[in-house]
Chains A and B, each alone.
Chain A
Amino acid sequence: MSDTGKTSAPAKVSPAGKVMRDGLWYNNPIFVQVLGICSTLAVTNNLRNTLIMVLGVSFATSMGSMTLSALRELIPRKVRMIVQVLVLSFYVIIIDIVLRAYQPAISKQLGPYVGLIITNCILMGRAEAFAASNPPGLAFLDGLANGLGYGWVLLVIAIVREFFGFGSLFGFKLVGDWFTPWTIMVMAPSAFFLVAIALWIANNYKAKVAAAAKAAAPGAAGAPAGQGGKP
């Protein structure tokens, strides 16, 4: 949990804008911190399930961060971790109850992965790194930005996996019977490769932008974002 404030978004924008930009790109949980892929990567062979999981993570991170930020003056140091886990699991259970009542089919397909949102490192990471020292409104935005920043990357991966793995998107068949689905895309290894490729593209793009900035204004280039080391 070490990425506090080590962000590299341009300093000119408002705090809220900065928080959003950091979460979505400059300090993106996947590209920069490689956090929280555990609970969602497993369902990325299906676009609809990924969307639901991403929304769930965003909801839990933003609401959890907001609640913990509002309580931050009251939480005793000794039990800080326990209270954080309690608050975060509260929101995850809400998600679980809502899914079971209104989207039973999806709830069944996601199985244990809804509960695993609790141990998603992004939730604890943001609670610890941001919500513990910032006001509720900003903490909410930070949670939302991180959830969505994490989400868009996984959605791109899900699009690739579902298209090649089943020949469909959101369950709608897009190609004819001539198409032989790539079983590898349905199975686990492909997800690791795709995250690595996404990371590669993002790093190369960032390097290009940094080089361009350096060329334009020597000495004033934004430092590359640091590797967040939270286990």
Chain B
Amino acid sequence: MIDAPSVGLLSLFLASILTSNVLLANFLGTCSFISISKDFKSSMGLGVAVTLVIGITAAVCWAVLYFIIQPLGIEYLSFIIFIIVIAGVVQMLEMIIDRFSPALYLALGIFLPLITVNCAVLGVILFMQIRKYSFPQAVIFGFGSGAGWWLAIMLLASIRKKLDSNNAIPAGLKGTGITLITIGFMAMAFVGFSGMIAVQ
């Protein structure tokens, strides 16, 4: 992995949470983001689940990519393989959590299956593949992106709590419309972090 980008782990972590937030800069995971952020508690649950799943699948898929897919030369099948790995990791996580922490399972359980088709997970893995990250970089990038998504959905859920009781919003913008505008402003605010940590 001679060509792995030389960005340091800490700045990669901060960049993936703030400046290159997987949701606000790359639009990944928007669907569940909009529908779940209506409810603060669910946002918390889904945020935790997404962070865990992205972090773990990034590590597993990195191993699958460099120890199975590349040696066999079957890059053209990588989409299917990644999706199967994601589904498998989600299933296993579900079983492990159920076994060791039934309370956590009750809280997270319904969100886990949704994550298999969450674009953020596959997106992070495809970025990892294209950018040729080393193993530590892949793991940090995975957890960082998950944490960024989590942070974004918590912020949005808090804002929406106030928004939904506001009657000044034009009828045509109520609900999804104003949510999208809010996300737009959040995205602008996050771009503002760029100067702070000197990563673009």
Q: Is the pairing of A and B real?
A: yes
Residues of A within 8 A of B (CB): 34-39, 41-42, 81-82, 85-86, 89-90, 92-93, 96-97, 111-112, 115-116, 118-121, 124, 184, 187-193, 195-196, 199-201, 203-204, 207, 227, 229-231
Mark B131-174 against chain A: 1 for CB-CB distance below 8 A, else 0. 00000000000000000000000000000000000000011110
In the complex, chain B residues whose CB is within 8 Å of the CB of A36: 31
With A37-B31, A187-B191, A231-B31 known as contacts, the answer to whether A116 contacts B119 (CB < 8 A) is yes
Q: Is the interface of A mostly helix, strand, loop or mixed?
A: helix
> Which residues of chain B in 87-129 are interfacial with respect to chain A, using CB atoms and an 8 Å cutoff?
87, 114, 116-123, 126-127, 129
Residues of A within 8 A of B187 (CB): 187-189, 192
Q: Are B26 and A42 in contact (CB under 8 A)?
A: yes
B184 at the interface (CB under 8 A from A): yes
How many residue pairs bridge A and B at CB < 8 Å? Answer: 140
Task: Please measure, in the bound complex, the distance between the C-alpha atom of A39 and the C-alpha atom of B36, giving whole angstroms.
Answer: 18
**B30, A189: Cβ atoms under 8 Å?**
no
- Chain A residues, Cβ within 8 Å of B116: 81, 85
Interface size on B, residues (CB 8 A): 50
B83 at the interface (CB under 8 A from A): yes
Chain B residues with CB below 8 A from A121, complex form: 31, 117
Alpha-carbon distance between A36 and B29 when the two chains are bound, in angstroms: 9
CA A35 to CA B83, docked complex, whole Å: 20
Q: Which of B5-38 contact A (CB under 8 A)?
A: 24-32, 34-36
